[in-house]
Amino acid sequence: MPLQVTRETFIGRDVGVAFGVLAALLVIMYATRLQGLQIPGYLVLVGYDYLQNSLLPQLSSVAFWVGFLLYLYIGALLIGNLYHVIRRASRRGN
């Protein structure tokens, strides 16, 4: 069965949870002093910084944050939909 693109693909529960997890990693990075807990959030931030500096250097602060939120949303789309596909495939296999 091919993957169907629906409303759930873009704003479904899986995408929302993935966005929340990515945002929580950033909050934990800034809220804690334990370096081991800061690493995942740091990697998310550095991933955006790398893309932003190589594609659109010297953005204003508003454009930086809009781009960062878009980066988090696209990451959540990828993670949430990948999770959805894996979950559906594992249900079909049982």
Q: For residue 63, what are the contacts with CB-CB under 8 A and spacing of at least 6?
A: 56
Contact 67, 52 (CB under 8 A): yes
Contact 48, 63 (CB under 8 A): no
5 within domain boundaries: no
Each residue of 39-72: pLDDT tens digit?
A: 999 999 999 999 998 988 888 889 889 999 999 9
Q: How many domains does the chain have?
A: 1
pTM more than 0.75: yes
DSSP states of 34-50 as a string?
-HHHHHHHHHHHHHHHH
pLDDT digits (tens, 9 = 90+) for 19-35: 999 999 999 999 999 99
pLDDT in tens, 66-83: 999 999 999 999 999 999
Token pair of 67 as six digits: 């781009």
Q: Identify the pLDDT of residue 72.
A: 96
Q: With cut-offs at 50, 70 and 90, classify the pLDDT of residue 12.
A: confident
Is residue 3 assigned to a domain? no
- Does the residue 78 lie in any domain? yes
